[in-house]
């Protein structure tokens, strides 16, 4: 394959600066484990606290990108030194979009939990668990699946 | 702290759902579909800056938040460079949202395979491997060299 050759036309998906594509996936795995614990804790205050911690991580990721989260830092310091360099670098914007989706889902759970609807905590964690798990295991790209759906739902006639 | 049995069941169901969804999603990636979901609306490709290849044209709809779009673009650009009369064009969904609606495109990357007349012959969604790109091309144009029987 001619993978080292840059695309001939101006590619619409040109990245600002590439990141190791394995980083967001490892991070998603760590996040999925935390969310699994939230599911096990159920509709409790402890579950709400841990979900809030995960949501705060998603907030970091939505602002700084997946490489700017605690999970990203763990990957960089503990995992990446043991791996061969990546075959290719990845655009940081798709993982950042996925962090934003995670923030919305877990954020709704935290807000409902704080409002007294504790049962929403394991459900929000469960939805986010499936998304993070799919990202970690098969490399699901949330931006690919959700961006156009969201754009289609926007009422403005584009 | 004790874990409620219902929470264990819930987690088991979630793990199962993740496995099923993951397998379904993965098997869909880059699969070449020769029966497009909708009728070809007769797109004016020239007006969108797409120059048709003499044999086939790959039109790739990409988005900024799509990780496999770049790899797919590399695969298709490589194929277009090796094959005479084959073109590859990448369009941003934000710039061609009317086309996205018209064609019923739901995910990125979506690759349309056009024949020499610009008619949609096949379609594929998700990241494409070189083998899938080759298969997509074969649906539009027969290989230049006819397969011949091997004789001693």
What CA–CA distance (Å, rounded) separates B7 from A40?
5
What pLDDT does residue B51 have? 92
Q: Does B70 touch chain A (CB under 8 A)?
A: yes
Higher per-residue confidence, B142 vs A65: A65
Whether the bond between A62 and the residue before it is cis, its omega within 30 degrees of 0, is: no
Taking an 8 Å cut-off on Cβ atoms, the answer to whether A129 and B70 are in contact is no
Taking an 8 Å cut-off on Cβ atoms, the answer to whether A137 and B22 are in contact is yes
Q: Does A93 touch chain B (CB under 8 A)?
A: yes
Please report residues of A whose CB lies closer than 8 A to that of B107. Answer: 144-145, 148
How confident is the model over A107-157, as pLDDT tens digits?
999 999 999 999 999 999 999 999 999 999 999 999 899 999 988 887 664
How confident is the model over A11-20, as pLDDT tens digits?
554 556 789 9
Strands lying side by side in the sheet with B110-114: B32-33, B120-125, B110-114, B56-62, B86-92
* Average confidence (pLDDT) over A31-58: 97
CA dihedral B22, B28, B30, B32 (to 10 degrees): 170
How confident is the model over A73-101, as pLDDT tens digits?
999 999 999 999 888 888 899 999 999 99
Q: Does B2 touch chain A (CB under 8 A)?
A: no
CB atoms within 10 A of CB B46: 10
What pLDDT does residue A107 have? 97
Buried b (16+ CB within 10 A) or exposed e, A57-96: bbbbbbeebbbbbebbeebeeeebeeeeeeeeebbbbbbb
Q: Is the pLDDT of residue A5 over 80?
A: no
Q: Is the pLDDT of residue A58 over 70?
A: yes
Any idea what DSSP says for residue B31? Answer: -
Beta-carbon-side half-sphere exposure of residue B149 (alpha carbons within 13 Å): 2
ipTM metric: 0.82
Burial class (CB in 10 A: 0-12, 13-18, 19+), A129: buried
- Could you tell me the two tokens for A112? 């409902």
* Average confidence (pLDDT) over B29-33: 92
CA A124 to chain CA mean position, Å: 14
Taking an 8 Å cut-off on Cβ atoms, the answer to whether A134 and B91 are in contact is no
What CA–CA distance (Å, rounded) separates A108 from A117?
11
Residue written as token pair 């979900």: A51
What CA–CA distance (Å, rounded) separates B97 from A21?
28
Taking an 8 Å cut-off on Cβ atoms, the answer to whether B25 and A46 are in contact is no
What pLDDT does residue A4 have? 42
Please report residues of A whose CB lies closer than 8 A to that of B66. Answer: 13, 94, 141, 143-144, 147
Higher per-residue confidence, B36 vs A153: A153
Report which of B63, B72, B70 is spatially closest to residue B92, judged by C-alpha positions: B63
Q: Does A151 touch chain B (CB under 8 A)?
A: yes
């Amino acid at each position: 394959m001619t993978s080292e050759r840059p695309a001939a036309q101006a590619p619409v998906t040109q990245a600002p600066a590439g990141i190791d594509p394995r980083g967001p996936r490892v991070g998603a795995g760590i996040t999925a484990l935390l969310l699994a614990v939230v599911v096990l804790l159920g509709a409790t205050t402890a579950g709400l606290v841990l979900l809030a911690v995960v949501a705060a991580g998603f907030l970091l990721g939505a602002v700084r990108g997946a490489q700017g989260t605690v999970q990203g830092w763990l990957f960089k310091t503990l995992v990446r030194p043991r791996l061969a360099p990546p075959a290719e670098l990845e655009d940081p914007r798709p993982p950042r979009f996925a962090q934003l989706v995670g923030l919305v889902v877990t954020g709704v759970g935290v807000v409902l939990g704080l409002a007294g609807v504790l049962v929403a905590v394991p459900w929000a964690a469960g939805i986010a668990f499936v998304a993070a798990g799919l990202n970690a295991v098969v490399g699901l790209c949330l931006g690919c699946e959700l961006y156009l759906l969201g754009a289609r739902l926007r009422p403005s006639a584009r | 702290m004790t874990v409620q049995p219902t929470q264990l069941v819930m987690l088991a169901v979630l793990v199962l759902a993740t496995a099923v969804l993951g397998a379904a999603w993965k098997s869909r990636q880059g699969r070449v579909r020769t029966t497009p979901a909708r009728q070809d609306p007769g797109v004016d490709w020239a007006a969108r800056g797409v120059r048709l290849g003499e044999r086939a044209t790959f039109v790739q709809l990409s988005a900024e938040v799509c990780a496999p779009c770049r790899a797919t673009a590399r695969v298709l650009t490589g194929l277009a460079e090796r094959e005479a009369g084959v073109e590859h064009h990448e369009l941003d969904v934000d710039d061609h949202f009317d086309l996205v609606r018209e064609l019923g495109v739901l995910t990125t990357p979506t690759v349309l395979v056009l024949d020499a007349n610009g008619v949609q012959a096949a379609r594929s969604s998700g990241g494409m491997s070189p083998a899938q790109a080759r298969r997509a091309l074969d649906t539009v144009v027969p290989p230049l060299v006819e397969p011949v029987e091997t004789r001693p």
